[in-house]
Chain A
Amino acid sequence: DARVTQTPRHKVTEMGQEVTMRCQPILGHNTVFWYRQTMMQGLELLAYFRNRAPLDDSGMPKDRFSAEMPDATLATLKIQPSEPRDSAVYFCASGFGGNYGYTFGSGTRLTVV
């Protein structure tokens, strides 16, 4: 089964440290989304890419978050510096766009202490 691979699965870090999360989309998928999920806010859209070009990152705190897609097999989400309020599960999802749905990765559970 094709799947979206996210690393690491879990990350505990101290406030102020840099965190990088990685996503390998399903081969051939041209659209990649980054979401953050918390109990209070649910799934929040952070950024997304089509054919590696960033389309919208308005959901991200620009001063500390950055998202890139250096090649078709890798998307990254970086937080620098991290804060306790960034603690959440971060999901990557990939797909073909349009009326097709998207496949989610297993997520990265981030805890900032």
Chain B
Amino acid sequence: QKEVEQNSGPLSVPEGAIASLNCTYSDRGSQSFFWYRQYSGKSPELIMSIYSNGDKEDGRFTAQLNKASQYVSLLIRDSQPSDSATYLCAVNLRGNRDDKIIFGKGTRLHILP
């Protein structure tokens, strides 16, 4: 069973601090990785994608990928109350029959004003 694991949280971070969200995956053949943000009662929204080892930065967000350790993380700098949401890690299991995107259960992030 191919899995994506995340700590469910809640993760509480003071406003202005760095929030660090982690994700591990079981399938070594996974090719690309995504972070989605989901506000309560809303649909998931793509915020970052990464497919090469190392860091990828986009504004206040940095995604980090380590394929050897099967580990993906998301850093949010200068956290704002509007960042309070559930963050979903998604993995593309590139199999014989093309993409298959599976999700972790998400980490609830709470930014403390």
**A→B interface (CB under 8 Å):** 31, 33, 35, 41-43, 45, 48, 50, 55-56, 91, 93, 97-107
Contact = CB atoms under 8 A, between A and B. Distances in A.
B44 A42 contact: no
B88 A105 contact: no
A101 B43 contact: no
A97 B99 contact: yes
A43 B44 contact: yes
Interface of B is mostly: strand
B45 interface: yes
Which of B31, B36, B97, B99: most chain A Cβ within 10 A?
A: B99
Given A43-B44, A43-B88, A99-B92, 14 more contacts: A31-B99, A43-B103, A45-B101, A45-B103, A48-B100, A55-B97, A56-B100, A101-B34, A101-B36, A101-B46, A101-B49, A104-B43, A105-B43, A106-B43
B17 interface: no
Interface residues of B, number: 24
B112 interface: no
Contact of B103 (A31, A42, A98, A99): A42
B102 A98 contact: no
Contact of A103 (B32, B46, B92, B103): B46
Interface in B81-103: 88, 90, 92, 97-103
Interface in B40-59: 42-46, 49, 51
